[in-house]
Structure 1
């Protein structure tokens, strides 16, 4: 046992292997899909996961406009924000948000599943969401992941 090492390898910013992956949101249930994407962005699917380091992959979500919400959530779920002014509370349904920006609902769902600190804000920058099937990240040669296989 002199030659064996049982130390846990803790990753840091220099030793992390970050990849680019593409996931398709077509006909996926929003919450289940977002939790899997958040896991990949955070790096929890990797064996060398370190909680305080950005060790996740860069995730490109395509077809975010085709994501599903179960039940009557599309019209009855409410997103609340505040302008910062008195009486400035604003309400929006997922349908209203998707009319404005198709990717916003998926972004909000994934952001809510990331840590609420400096690391979470840094991790969120590794997420790229697009409403259609096209994305401008072909130069990074992303590999496709089937979320259905992970669920």
Structure 2
């Protein structure tokens, strides 16, 4: 009787060597930047990529306040939030959110590109966003990545 060999390699959490990387968001288009960050966090750049295992890197984004949106998105794109109570739907335009919390614009874009399950929530915690060009993660020795 023949036995089937397992040809597909499935990575384990311990197999992944977690790297830290810094991305400068100055003058980058939001959607293109967010897709590259999500790709990196998910681990799809890694040859060990396995869909159900966290094989991604930790990503630090600096200069979030200098992000660019194309077309009329600054005035027309709406971000909604709801507390759960009747009549409590609030909305902000992209321009208002960039002025108040520039980190949230990138966070929402990247989170929307991650899986909507336990793994996605875990991967979302591997993203650190800062409005200025300083970050407190120098001890992790992050490599600068050009996107």
TM over 0.5: yes
2:14 equivalent in structure 1: 14
2:113 equivalent in structure 1: 113
TM superposition shift of 1:9: 2.3
Partners in 2 of 1:8 and 1:17 — Cα distance? Answer: 20
1:102 equivalent in structure 2: 102
Q: Deviations over 1:20-69 (max 9, x none)?
A: 00011111000011000000000011111000011100000011111100
Partners in 1 of 2:6 and 2:69 — Cα distance? Answer: 46
2:59 equivalent in structure 1: 59
State yes or no: 1:133 paired with 2:117: no
TM-score of the pair, normalised by structure 2: 0.94
Q: Deviations over 1:82-124 (max 9, x none)?
A: 1110001111111111222121100110000000110000000
1:146 equivalent in structure 2: 146
Gaps of 5+ in 2: none
Gaps of 5+ in 1: none
Partners in 2 of 1:131 and 1:30 — Cα distance? Answer: 14
State yes or no: 1:75 paired with 2:60: no
State the Cα RMSD in Å.
Answer: 1.2
Secondary structure (helix, strand or coil) at the match of 1:14 reads: helix
Partners in 2 of 1:100 and 1:124 — Cα distance? Answer: 21
Runs of 4+ deviating beyond 4 Å = none
Q: How many residue pairs are counted as aligned between the two chains?
A: 143
